[in-house]
Amino acid sequence: IPELTSSAGSVTQVRECASQLRELAKTSGISVFIIGHVTKEGTIAGPRVLEHIVDTVLHLEGDRYQAYRLLRSIKNRFGATAEVGVFEMHERGLVEVTNPSEAFLAERMVNAPGSSVAVTMEGTRPLLVEIQGLTSHTNFGNARRTPNGVNFNRLLLIAAVLTRRARTNLSEQDIFVNVVSGLKIDEPAADIAIAAAIASSMRDIPVRADAVLIGELGLAGELRMPSQMPLRLREAAKLGFKIAIVPKRLRKSEPWTKDIQIVEVRGIQQALDAAMGKAERKKGRKVV
């Protein structure tokens, strides 16, 4: 705005420009989109005053090398923020993915060691994603931990619990963890699936192809119940999974779906036995 003496990009300029655009939208009955970029920390670049003026803040997330994009609502003055839309990039632009879970699991290799399925929540929407784990004997003094789509500190915690509580010595193993389709998982409900993928690769035994793993992992090796479990179980059953390995319920106040067999376990070792136990006994392997 030339009438203002402040420089372009200053707090005053951003506030006045946003206010005039908002007034234009209200008087004309139109929608106005202000497009910007985010910093490395994931916040909107520039003065935060812009976020307070606008009605809705949407983040478009996704890996530049992957086709899928997530449109996430960060602020919504006239509705809920716990919503997310999944889109796929085509030649004609972004196209809605009506069944994201099925799309994310379409290329999954069944009965491959180092692969498991987690049920994560994106807002109010349950998504089934494949977790891949790979272990390899390290050639360096310190074993490496390389996550893609998983929090680094969370991976360190899971590796430590597996070593101390699940008879899976990872101190001399490089660990690589990948979330397929370029998604990022922040919630701890995927802990068991990550642990199972790592242990499966270490033991060279596949996780049951018809099983999903849901639950948070504690430092003592105990499993904790995540929120919105009925939604997660219904989504898994809808996609044809037969077994859900979950933490043991303390209270059975919420009814769970009967379309999927639920295996309730207390600790990480029980979860791994349920996910790979039959395969281990069939092969006659000794777990160390």
Angle between helices 152-165 and 268-283 (to 10 degrees): 60
For the entire predicted model, the pTM comes to 0.81
Q: How far is CA 274 from CA 31, 142, 243, 246, in A?
A: 52, 31, 10, 10
Average pLDDT of the segment spanning 83-104: 89
32-61 mean pLDDT:
84
pLDDT per position as a tens digit, 234-267: 999 999 999 999 999 877 767 888 899 999 999 9
The least confident of 11-20, 130-139, 151-160 is: 11-20
What pLDDT, on a 0 to 100 scale, did the predictor assign at position 106? 87
pLDDT in tens, 176-218: 999 998 888 989 999 999 999 999 999 999 999 999 999 999 9
pLDDT-derived band at 229 (thresholds 50, 70, 90) equals very high
Check pLDDT > 90 for residue 37. Answer: no
What pLDDT is attached to residue 30? 94
Instruction: Name the band, by pLDDT with cuts 50, 70 and 90, for residue 119.
Output: very high
Q: Which amino acid is at 95?
A: V
The two structure tokens encoding residue 269: 């070792």
pLDDT of residue 244: 96
- Sorted by sequence, the CB contacts under 8 Å of residue 235 that are 6+ apart come out as 101, 119, 126, 127, 128
% pLDDT > 70, the chain: 96
Question: Domain coordinates of the chain in residue numbers?
Answer: 1-52, 55-98, 102-283
Average pLDDT over residues 169-176: 94
Into which CATH architecture does domain 102-283 fall? 2-Layer Sandwich (3.30)
Other residues' Cβ atoms within 10 Å of the Cβ of residue 3: 5
Dig out the tokens for 216 from the structure: 């948070």
pLDDT value at residue 154: 96
288 has a pLDDT exceeding 60: no
Structure-token pair, residue 162: 């597996």
**pLDDT (average), residues 146-166:** 95
Q: Whole-number mean pLDDT of the chain?
A: 88
Provide the pLDDT confidence category of residue 287 given band limits of 50, 70 and 90.
very low
Q: Looking at per-residue confidence, does 223 or 280 come out higher?
A: 223
